[in-house]
Structure 1
Amino acid sequence: MTGLVASRPSRPLAQRRATAPFGAAVAAAAARGQLVVQPRMGMPRVPDMLAGLRAVRAADATAVGTITLDSYTRVGDHDSARKALRDGSDLNGFPIVAHGADVTRAMLADVDAPDFAIQVRHGSPLPIGIVEALLDAGLDATEGGPVSYCLPYSRTPLREAVDAWARSCELLAERVEGAHLESFGGCMLGQLCPPSLLVAISVLEGIFFKQHGLRSVSLSYAQGTSFQQDSDAIAALRALAREYLGGVQWHVVLYSYMGVFPRTEAGALALLRSSAVLAAATGTERMIVKTPAEAHRIPTVADNILALEEAALAADGIAPDAAASLTGNPVLAEARLLVDAVLELDEDMGQALLKAFARGYLDVPFCLHADNAQRSRSYIDAAGELQWLSTGSMPIASSAPTASARLGAEDFLGMLSHVQRSFDLAALDAPPLSRTKELL
């Protein structure tokens, strides 16, 4: 399989696409039982970005393309992005606004993109200019959210981000039938956040997208520290999506572990493969890969293609666990409490999110944003699962072993390196190219 092909909707679109409809393409692959894999690459200059997209399309995997934007564009400093292009200075992504719609659309034509799905990834809390630029270029998919692209990445007041994302959702819905938006809510400092909060924020952002007119969304989840806990989390995410996203085409996207990556190639490959196995076993439709180069340098196009193909190979032949039960799922129980508490605050999801953070009903551990209560903390228990050390005003209980439990600097650093150390140590006794299906 090369690339990802989808049929166009029969009804004319308000905006002429230069790519395959993103949500429909992922749904078609899922119907065929194929895991869609995706890189996170973004290069500033058209020839390099073009080569990257072509390589992804030609990969031996069911893949979608990515155009990751640069830091200047993310903060709306387009003049600096243009100057960097003129001066030949380095940028850490593709400046879609500085290049302009005609340049980007011409690049997509050279990719031969009409049957290849591509998503724009950026990180901006105020994305309206980026959304306008991607739509003008014929793209139909991006990611983020009023919470998930505000709290971890910026000092932007949450109220401003909520307003900007509401306008951006409405613009996407008005301009392109079936435009797709992925919530980044399942990745909120994901390597240290217990999964119930990741699930809750992703679902709440999905409801926000729906309220503002979108009918094609995806909900994210970042791989954590425990295969079983992650399996419970994805099952919970799917259950709540079925409950709250009626009338919306949706899918789940798993991010390979986003924290400190193993330093050994064998350990990094084992971690990548474990996330692919997790995705396949839980019925996850799409997966964002990381590469064995993550711990040492910026990945090349070749590094990304290797990661895509390794993930596809690891997931091949693994059927979703049909016997998985939601009964007694601890992540679902906590996530439901969080979602229900927020929904009771206001019928308007944007206002409900603002009230939830103001009251501390949602509180992201270790997040220093001014609109975050900063009273929650987490820890990794003896079984390797992320648990709540303290929950502040959230409507869930702490699982700390004693009321006086504290987290010191050494404990915090140990948490950050827990996955890296675990996979590097395990790799010492494993064959270099061992598969990870035995995790099941």
Structure 2
Amino acid sequence: MTARPESFGEVVAGHAGRGELVVQPRMGFSCPACMRHGLLRTRAARAATVGTITLDSYTRVGDHDASRRAIAAGADLNGYPLVDRDRGTTAAMLDRVVTPGFPVQVRHGSADPRRIVRALLDFGLDATEGGPVSYCLPYSRLPLATAVRNWREACEMLAAGGGEPHLETFGGCMMGQLCPPALLVALSVLEGMFFRQHGVRCISFSYAQQTHAVQDEEAVAALRELIRRYVPDARTHVVIYTYMGVFPRTAGGARRLLADSARLAARAGASRLIVKTTAEAHRLPTVAENVAALECAAAAARGVPQRPAPADTGLLMQAKALVDNVLALHDDIGRALVIAFARGQLDVPFCLHPDNAGRTRGRLGADGRLEWQRIGSLPIGDLVELPATERMTSADLLNALRYVERTFDDRFGAPPMVLAGSDHGPPQLRTGSNQ
């Protein structure tokens, strides 16, 4: 009798119990042989890893006619077209890739993941990610209420599929940058609660590395505390994303930023890290570059002890106030999210989606921390001290967006270059990055 493969959550928990940070690439190829090669190289890396299949942009937006035309023409898509590839090809690509200790997660970026979820379950996979807010507001023009309905059905499909399906909320990574951490933490918790309300019991909560390491540690501590309070009956872990904004252009700067994100994950007690590579600012990375990033991150985290949360600056109370306000709006969390955004009580800075009020602004403080410049109708006015002026020029915005890139290139970089490494697998080994 064949042993049941461990679920995604069980594998991550097992590594965490041994003090190992799980590292994971953003990896997706349209070529089935390339996709298989990337998964096998990820599995063989000198690190605790899980696999990734990142889907293409046509699949993300539900343009399956375009996806099928591209497949027929042999076009090189920016991810794997899981929904539209013929079943036999995908089954052969996955054959003997998933092992008891190596699950594979499907990553996509879709506000309507229903066909994606049906497809991944059809291939025996049961781990994916996203959320009704975080995969609608930045990536789609679908109404938020429609995305909520789509994600409700997707969660229910996953929950009915048997085993222990896993969902990762992308809410802690909204817009990548210049979003104060309290809102990231609140959105991550709310999306995780949405998943749980619709039957999913194994959930990871995301947070993206931002601009100040100590503030990030405080944010992850707040996230862990709110998970404990609001989702006590699920198998959970925290996943950190290496910085999602403008990436350093030098190999030295990029490697140092990646290593810092791994050490952040270890210090803050996160269980998993989504990595970036030295190619990030220039082009899509090769498999070899992805593997190098996995091994670099694992080495940076190895032996770094978890440490107590830094001094409280009020971030936890801000995040809790945002969560509690949403929960008071309606018993159905999806409907509560729609109401909160309609009232501007959730409002993502610099997000242009029609259902986002657009009255909030984040800014970079003098010490590199992310702060509120304007809070609109967010219910945190008694918890936030706003600056005397709300003015932000276009130059201020551009400088803030490039702060991390400039800091790490100036301190740790050499002349701009990307080390491609060697790769003897199939041709065209480039990986798409959906987030």
TM-score class, shorter-chain normalisation, is: over 0.9
Q: Deviations over 1:247-303 (max 9, x none)?
A: 100000000001111111111111000000000001100000000111111111011
2:217–2:309 CA contact under 8 A, matched in 1: no
**Which position in structure 1 is the counterpart of 2:109?**
123
**Correspondent of 1:64 among 50, 56, 59:** 50
Partners of 1:114 and 1:237 in 2: how far apart? 29
**Which position in structure 1 is the counterpart of 2:8?**
22
Is 1:104 the counterpart of 2:90? The answer is: yes
**Which position in structure 2 is the counterpart of 1:132?**
118
**Which position in structure 2 is the counterpart of 1:236?**
222
**Correspondent of 1:417 among 387, 399, 402:** 402
Is 1:47 the counterpart of 2:33? The answer is: yes
Is 1:340 the counterpart of 2:305? The answer is: no
Gaps of 5+ in 2: 418-435
**Correspondent of 1:383 among 367, 387, 393:** 367
Partners of 1:112 and 1:64 in 2: how far apart? 9
**Which position in structure 2 is the counterpart of 1:316?**
302
Partners of 1:194 and 1:159 in 2: how far apart? 25
Aligned CA RMSD, in angstroms, stands at 1.6
1:377 aligns to what SS in structure 2? strand
**Which position in structure 2 is the counterpart of 1:357?**
341
Q: Single out whichever of 96-105 and 376-385 deviates more from structure 2.
A: 96-105
**Which position in structure 2 is the counterpart of 1:435?**
none
Is 1:169 the counterpart of 2:161? The answer is: no
Question: Counterpart amino acid of 2:182?
Answer: S
1:170–1:212 CA contact under 8 A, matched in 2: yes
Structure with larger RCO (C-alpha < 8 A, sep 6+)? 2
Question: In the TM superposition, what is the alpha-carbon distance from 1:99 to its structure 2 partner?
Answer: 1.1
2:127–2:166 CA contact under 8 A, matched in 1: yes
Partners of 1:414 and 1:176 in 2: how far apart? 49
Question: Counterpart amino acid of 1:379?
Answer: R
TM-score by length of structure 1 reads 0.91
Is 1:250 the counterpart of 2:236? The answer is: yes
2:251–2:413 CA contact under 8 A, matched in 1: no
Partners of 2:314 and 2:87 in 1: how far apart? 47
Gaps of 5+ in 1: 1-6, 10-18, 433-440
1:354 aligns to what SS in structure 2? helix
Q: Deviations over 1:87-139 (max 9, x none)?
A: 11120000001114443233211425454111000000011000000000110
Is 1:34 the counterpart of 2:15? The answer is: no
1:222–1:257 CA contact under 8 A, matched in 2: yes
2:95 aligns to what SS in structure 1? helix
Partners of 1:152 and 1:405 in 2: how far apart? 24
Partners of 1:44 and 1:251 in 2: how far apart? 30
2:155–2:199 CA contact under 8 A, matched in 1: yes
Question: In the TM superposition, what is the alpha-carbon distance from 1:386 to its structure 2 partner?
Answer: 0.5
- Once the two structures are superposed, the pairs formed by residues 178-257 of structure 1 within 5 Å of their partners are 178-257=164-243
Question: Percent identity at matched positions?
Answer: 56
1:389–1:399 CA contact under 8 A, matched in 2: no
1:289–1:307 CA contact under 8 A, matched in 2: yes
- Paired residues, what number? 412
2:83 aligns to what SS in structure 1? helix
